Amino acid sequence: DGGITQSPKYLFRKEGQNVTLSCEQNLNHDAMYWYRQDPGQGLRLIYYSQIVNDFQKGDIAEGYSVSREKKESFPLTVTSAQKNPTAFYLCASSSRTGTNQPQHFGDGTRLSIL
Amino acid sequence: EDQVTQSPEALRLQEGESSSLNCSYTVSGLRGLFWYRQDPGKGPEFLFTLYSAGEEKEKERLKATLTKKESFLHITAPKPEDSATYLCAVQPLGGTDKLIFGTGTRLQVFP
């Protein structure tokens, strides 16, 4: 079954710790995205990548980092510089960039502070 | 500034009671408008894309329509399994694929 797999489902971060969220897709999509969802707010774009080895900052990139070494994978690291990391993190992908192809989402990772 | 506003924030319907959800948007140019369904603890599930004013799309009990300023998601004779949060997002014209999301409408359908 083709889709987007995010892991882990739940993650806990200690003070001063970096944590990495995994996102893998087997849809052969070129573009991948990371969003953050907070209660009462719309999804906000953290980073996106339109092609391997290239990525761009979204609206709220501070305190986060990404890499795109393989087409299928787009991991997100939440660094200790992100002072309010508690949120639901969603990864998405779409087949072509520069078009109105829909973005398809994984089932998210919920990050909490210990 | 590009913006999306959804209303109402929450909606309770009895099974079979039809209604509509609203998505108002302000963008300099629209590449596409997207509707998603999100169940608790899950990622959004894609429903429809609308590209131009006057366009309509249907899927089972759902029908989405688009004007130059807003989109409606009409739910006909809803069932309890239609209970979810419905998200609207717009993709502005331009060089990125950025989606701008509204805060969603939480729909509850009770028997």
- Give the model's pLDDT for residue A96: 72
Beta carbons of B98 and A41 less than 8 Å apart: no
List of chain B residues whose C-beta atoms are within 8 Å of the C-beta of residue A43? 44, 87, 89, 99, 101
A90 and B44 within 8 Å at the Cβ level: the answer is: yes
Does residue B95 register a pLDDT over 70? no
How far apart are alpha carbons A30 and A94 in whole angstroms? Answer: 7
Contact A93, A27 (CB under 8 A): yes
Residues in chain A within 8 Å Cβ distance of B29: none
Average pLDDT, chain A: 93
Decide: A71 and A52 in contact? Cβ < 8 Å.
Answer: yes
Residue A41 phi/psi, 5° resolution?
A: -125, 155
Contact residues, chain A, for B104 at CB < 8 Å:
42
Q: How many CB atoms lie within 10 A of CB B89?
A: 23
Using the predicted structure, report yes or no on whether residue A100 has a pLDDT greater than 80: no
Looking at residue B28, what is its pLDDT? 86
pLDDT in tens, A39-53: 988 899 999 999 999
Chain B window 28-67: which residues touch A at a Cβ cutoff of 8 Å?
31-32, 34, 36, 41-46, 49, 51
The answer to whether A90 contacts B42, with C-beta atoms less than 8 Å apart, is no
Across chain B, mean pLDDT equals 95
Closest Cα to residue B20, out of B76, B80, B82, B104?
Answer: B76
Q: pLDDT digits over B39-57, tens only?
A: 999 999 999 999 999 999 9
What is the pLDDT confidence band of residue B103, given thresholds at 50, 70 and 90? very high
Q: Single out the residue of B84, B71, B75 nearest to residue B32, CA to CA.
A: B71
- In this prediction, residue A70 carries a pLDDT of 97
Give the pairing type, strands B10-14 and B105-110.
parallel
- Is residue B9 predicted with pLDDT exceeding 80? yes
Average pLDDT over residues B101-106: 96
Q: Are A93 and A26 spatial neighbours (Cβ–Cβ below 8 Å)?
A: no
Contact status of B101 with chain A (Cβ, < 8 Å): yes
Summarised one tens digit per residue, pLDDT across range A45-95 is 999 999 999 999 999 999 999 999 999 999 999 999 998 999 999 999 998
